[in-house]
Amino acid sequence: MILEVRAVAPFYKNGFVVGCERTREAVLIDPGDEVDELLGAVRDLDVDVQAVLLTHAHIDHTGYVPRIAKSGYRGPVYTTPPTAALLQVLWPDAAHLHEEDARYANRTGYSRHRPALPFFDSEDARRALTLLRPVSFHERVELAPGLAFTFRRVGHILGASFIVVETDGKRLVFSGDVGQHGVPILKDPESPEAADHLVLESTYGDRLHPDGSPREELGRAVAEAAAKRGAVLIPAFAVGRAQDVLYHLRSLQREGRLAPDLPIYLDSPMAVSAVDLYCGALSEHDIEMTTLQDKGLCPIDGPSVHFVRDRVESQALNGRKGPLVIISASGMLSGGRILHHLKHRLPDPETTLLFVGYQADGTLGRRILEGAHDVRIHGQSVTVRAEIREISALSAHADQRGLVDWVGAIATPPRAVYLVHGEPAAREALAAALRAKPGWSVVLPREGDAIELK
Ligand SMILES: [Zn+2]
């Protein structure tokens, strides 16, 4: 067996090839956004891709599938039913963004290619969707004699799984993104009981989420911001984070700890579509969600919530005076409608910009969080006078303790743990924490490393 670990840095890219030396058959796991290197790895290893397996819908784990569909791949793409449903929204949206990028490049001459072509287009996204083969959690699928996989719940976003691949009698576990216990809406993560080899994410490998309830913290932050009668801008991933934040805000309103008429705008067509999927995925709901739902309406919705799909309606929010809450994508301020809200409201000291998710190195979100006074948005200089706050405990990712606990159920140490999906400091810190466990060996693969699994 060969495990080709690809693109571990920068942190947001993913993609693994797991191939069998004997049969030359391989599966791709989580081919993330724009990882053309992955097909290079498939060629170098001289293997045939039999299937693609996806841990969850986030585009940094799935965004390459329409591209390989474009280049002729017609094999199955396995994932859980809720992930398949989310991808019906995410892939066409990603295609649309790629098409817009290409149009922009052609208009401004900003491209090496003439004409600039989208990374993939709507037709590729549609074709990729036809390849999806939903498989329920815990259903073991045998791809070939001696090669099987199973999805298990991991609590990161709706439908998110870790994958157990069994091959030649070995058990490989791919964590995907590991969620936290006790988050709203979703069932808690399950644990892998055994692994010969474990590929583990390390996003928050060097951090501990503060103790205390993130809902309380969110309530305090929003109540204080609302008292200033300003706008509270919450950048959030459209799928996962946005629904969690909305759920918490609605709970606080129901409990009377936030004004019940404080308007909350969910300004992202994708996030709005995902709300419907979150509300409809009854089999994935935790007890709190089920109990609330038994009483009638979906707890993510309510009279104070306004779903904004339309672009004109989104722009009209600029004219609205606070207090109000705007939840919008993208979560790290790398694009999306949040940018036009920032351009309009960052110079206003009454605005509160509230971060609720990870801000990667090099993103606009990280720069603002680190105290930038002037930032560039759509080519314009924007002065930051807004109050900047952060609630890290709301993250969809487990922290260092959470990750160490998650692997704690593995009784016999794996032959090796491979740490991926983390910046260098996070990987180093998590490696140190895991090496403190007797008998545990940790490897920090570099981009493009091929690892022989024995
Ligand atoms: Zn994710």
Tell me the three-class secondary structure of the chain, residue by residue.
Answer: CEEEECCCCCCCCCCEEEECCCCCEEEEECCCCCCCHHHHHHHHHCCEEEEEECCCCCHHHHCCHHHHHHCCCCCCEEECHHHHHHHHHHHHHHHHHHHHHHHHHHHHCCCCCCCCCCCCCHHHHHHHHHCEEECCCCCCEEEECCEEEEEEECCCCCCCEEEEEEECCEEEEECCCCCCCCCCCECCCCCCCCCCEEEEECCECCCCCCCCCHHHHHHHHHHHHHHCCCEEEEECCCCCHHHHHHHHHHHHHHCCCCCCCCCEEEECHHHHHHHHHHHHCHHHECHHHHHHHHCCCCCCCCCCEEEECCHHHHHHHHHCCCCEEEEECCCCCCCCCHHHHHHHHCCCCCCEEEECCCCCCCCHHHHHHCCCCEEEECCEEEECCCEEEECHHHCCCCEHHHHHHHHCCCCCCCCEEEEECCCHHHHHHHHHHHHCCCCCCEECCCCCEEEECC
pLDDT band with cut points at 50, 70 and 90 for residue 21: confident
- Average pLDDT (147-155) is 96
Average pLDDT over the chain, rounded to an integer: 91
Calculate mean pLDDT across residues 266-283. Answer: 92
Q: Residue 20 C-alpha to ligand 1 middle, in angstroms?
A: 27
As a whole number, mean pLDDT of residues 112-134 equals: 90
Percentage of residues of the chain with pLDDT beyond 90: 66
pLDDT of residue 92: 95
Q: 366 alpha carbon to ligand 1 midpoint, in Å?
A: 18
Q: What is the mean pLDDT of residues 103-120?
A: 77
pLDDT band at 124 (very low <50, low <70, confident <90, very high): very high
Ligand 1 centroid distance, CA of 91 (Å): 15
Tell me how far the alpha carbon of residue 202 lies from the centroid of ligand 1, in angstroms: 12
Is pLDDT of 160 > 90?
Answer: yes
How many angstroms does the Cα of residue 177 sit away from the middle of ligand 1? 5
pLDDT at 367: 97
What is the whole-number distance in angstroms between the Cα of residue 163 and the centre of ligand 1?
14
pLDDT at res. 11: 63
Mean pLDDT of 213-239: 92
The residue among 356 and 4 whose pLDDT is bigger is 356
Instruction: Say which residues have a Cβ less than 8 Å from residue 117's Cβ, sequence separation at least 6.
Output: 102
pLDDT of residue 112: 63
CA of 186 to the centre of ligand 1 (A): 14
Distance CA 444, CA 421 (A): 11
Average pLDDT, stretch 181-187?
A: 88
> Which of 149, 153, 207, 209 has the alpha carbon at shortest distance from 177?
153
- From the CA of 316, how far away is ligand 1's center (Å)? 31
Residue 105 has pLDDT above 90, yes or no: no
Query: How many angstroms does the Cα of residue 407 sit away from the middle of ligand 1?
Result: 18
Q: How far apart are CA 4 and CA 18, in angstroms?
A: 6
CA atoms within 13 A on the CB side of 387: 15
Q: How confident is the model at residue 10 (pLDDT cuts 50, 70, 90)?
A: low
Task: Provide mean pLDDT across the span 225-244.
Answer: 93
Q: Calculate how far, in angstroms, residue 260's C-alpha sits from the geometric centre of ligand 1.
A: 31
Asked if pLDDT for residue 222 goes beyond 90, the answer is: yes
pLDDT of amino acid 7: 57
Say yes or no to pLDDT of 146 above 90: no
Report CA(246)–ligand 1 centroid distance (Å). 18
- Separation of CA 205 and ligand 1 centre (Å): 15
| Residues 314-337 pLDDT 10s | 999 999 998 999 999 999 998 889
* CA of residue 58 to ligand 1 center, whole Å: 5
Find the 106 Cα to ligand 1 centroid distance in Å.
32
CA–centroid distance, 11 to ligand 1, in Å, is 11
